[in-house]
Chains A and B, each alone.
Chain A
C-alpha cells in the first residue's frame, strides 16, 4: 500500500482534556508526531508568559497542534466527506498542515521574535522544506508533498478551501486555542459550542461557510474571542512579564555586543545576536534553555541583567499604570529625565506597551480590512456576511478598543526618597 494511504494496524488515540480523544489512523500523521521537530513543541508553551498569571497555563504547542489536527480531521471525516465541493484527495495535505502549522514557533515566541526580528512562519517553512525529520516523512508521501504542506500553511496553496480550514476567521486553529486556553487558564470565557459549529460548516469552492441556522453558535465563538483577548491574552501582568523578558534579551545582546565578560557565556544566543544562525540552532532552543540562562544570569556582575532575570525567574514583575499617549506623551520625556537622575536606566526600567504590540485578530467584517469575513449560507444558497445578520456580532466587530500601559519597577521607588516620590506621583497621574 502506498505510504500516503497506509493506516495504523490499530487506531492510536491521545487522551486530551479538550477533545476527549485525538484519533490517529494515518501512518503519516503518526510518523510526523514522532519526529524530533514535532516533539520539540512539548517544550514551547502555548501562552508564553501567561503561566505567571494563570498558573494552569502550562500547556504546550504540542497539545494545541494535536488539537488543531483533530478538529480538521473531524471536519473532513465527519462533515465534508462525500460532499461534492470537497476533494477527498486533499485530505492528507490538510491534516498534515493542521498538525504542523505551528512547527516554527520559538521559545516565548512573541518576545523572541520581536527582539531578534524573526518570523516563526519562516521557520515553519524551513522545517518543512529543509533536511529535517519532518521533511523526510513528508517526502515519503511524494517529492512535492513537503512543498504542498508548506503552501497551505503559507496561504499560497491553490485550493483555498484547504487553506481556510487552518487559516480564516473561523478556523480549526482558533477553535482549538480558545477552548484549550480557557481550559488551562481556568477562566469561564472561551467556551462555545464547537460541536454545533462543526455540524453547520459547509465547504464551498474557496472557503468554509456556515449554515445560517448555526449563526448563534458562531456568535458565541466571536464573543469568546473578544473576551479571551481582554481577560487572558492582553492581561497586564502577563504583559509585564513579557516586557521584562524582552528587556533581558535586549540587555544580553547589548552586553555581548559591547564586549562584556559573561560569567555564563550566552552560547546558544551568539548566532542570534549576530543574526547569522542556522535552522539547527533555532530548533535547539526551547523554553527550558532560556529559563536555564535566566537562572544563571541572576549571578552576573551586570546589575541590570541580573536584576531583570531575578524579576522574571522569581516573579518580581514591574508595576503598571494606565497611560494615555494623547495627553501624556510629553510627560514621558520628563519621566526619562527623572529615571536617569534616580540611577535607573529608562531603556530597561520605563517601558510603554500598547495593544498593537500584541495584535489579536478581532473579527473584522471585510470592507478594506483584507480579511475574508465569515459567511452565512442562506437556504437559497446565497452568502451573507455574519455581522449583517447578527446584531451581537455587529455590536462588537470592527469596534476600536485600545489600551496603553506604562511599566516600571515600583519596588525600587517606594523608599520615601523625594525623587522617587516625584516619579511615582507622575507615574500614578
Chain B
C-alpha cells in the first residue's frame, strides 16, 4: 500500500530536510538514474527533468500530514522546504528497507546546489548520447544558464562518483 509514497518519505527522512522543490525533483531523478527504485516518471521541463507525479505525491504526503512543508522567502527567490513529521516517521514503518548505499548518495546530493543538480540531471537525461553530444544538448536546452566548461567537468566527475557509490 502506498509503497511509492513511503519511498519519498524515506528519502526525505534520510536527507533530514530538502530545501527547494527543484532540488527535490533533481535529487530523486538522479537517484532514479542510479537505479534506486523510484517509480516517478520524468519529462524534460524548464529546469531540466521534472516529474508531475512526484509533485503530486509530495502534495498528497503534505495533505496526509506525513511531510511538513515550510515556505521560505529568501529575498531574490522563494523556496519550499520539506521535512518528515512524527506521523510520517510512523508511516515509514510501512516502507521497505532502502538499499544500503542510498543514505550516502542522498547526503552527497543534498550538499550540492540546485543549479549544479540541474546540470547533472540534465546531462543524465541525455545519457544515451556521447559525452560531446550530451554537452552540446545541454548547451542548447539550457542556453540561458551559461554553464562553464569547469562546471561540466565537475558534473561528469560527480556522475561518476554517484555511479560508483550507488553500486559499492
The chain A residues found within 8 Å of chain B, CB to CB, are: 113, 119, 121, 154-156, 158, 324-326, 329, 332-333, 352, 354-356, 359-361, 367-372, 400, 402, 404
Contacts and interface: CB of A to CB of B under 8 A. Distances in A.
B79 interface: yes
A332 B87 CA distance: 16
A326 B66 contact: yes
Given A119-B41, A356-B60, A400-B59, A156 B47 contact: no
Nearest to A406: B1
Contacts of B91: 325, 329
B108 to A, nearest CB: 22
Contact of A370 (B1, B45, B66, B94): B45
Contacts of B66: 326
Contact of A368 (B4, B20, B137): B20
A272 B5 CA distance: 26
A242 to B, nearest CB: 15
Interface in B64-109: 64-66, 78-80, 87, 91, 94
Interface stretch (B49-57, B145-153, B155-163): B49-57
Given A325-B64, A369-B21, 5 more contacts: A356-B4, A359-B53, A368-B78, A368-B80, A370-B50
Contact of B56 (A329, A359, A370): A359
A118 to B, nearest CB: 10
Interface in B25-42: 25, 41
Contacts of B140: 156, 158
A329 B21 contact: no
Given A326-B64, A329-B91, A368-B79, A156 B141 contact: yes
12 contacts: A325-B1, A325-B91, A326-B87, A354-B5, A355-B56, A356-B5, A356-B56, A359-B53, A370-B46, A370-B50, A402-B59, A404-B60
A367 B78 contact: yes
A283 B21 CA distance: 37
A404 B66 CA distance: 15
A404 B4 CA distance: 14
Nearest to A156: B141
B127 interface: no
Contacts of A367: 78
Nearest to A399: B59
Contacts of B64: 324-326
10 nearest CB pairs, A to B: A356-B56, A326-B64, A368-B21, A359-B52, A356-B57, A370-B50, A370-B45, A402-B60, A332-B1, A359-B53
Nearest to A167: B43
B5 A325 contact: yes
Contacts of A359: 41, 52-53, 55-56
Contacts of A333: 94
Contacts of A402: 56, 59-60, 63
Interface string B1-37: 1101100000000000000111001000000000000
A97 to B, nearest CB: 15
Contacts of B41: 113, 119, 359
B44 interface: yes
A333 B66 CA distance: 18
Contacts of A370: 21-22, 25, 45-47, 50
Nearest to A367: B78
Contacts of A121: 43
B21 A156 contact: no
Contacts of A400: 59, 62-63
A117 to B, nearest CB: 8
Contact of B60 (A329, A355, A361, A372): A355
Contacts of A355: 56, 60
A330 B102 CA distance: 26
Contacts of B59: 356, 400, 402
Given A154-B44, A370-B45, A370-B46, A354 B25 contact: no
B117 to A, nearest CB: 13
A333 B1 CA distance: 9
B43 A369 contact: no
A357 B150 CA distance: 40
Nearest to B21: A368
Contacts of A332: 1
Contacts of B1: 325, 329, 332, 352
A332 B60 CA distance: 18
B27 to A, nearest CB: 14
Interface string B131-150: 00000010011000000000
A119 B39 CA distance: 12
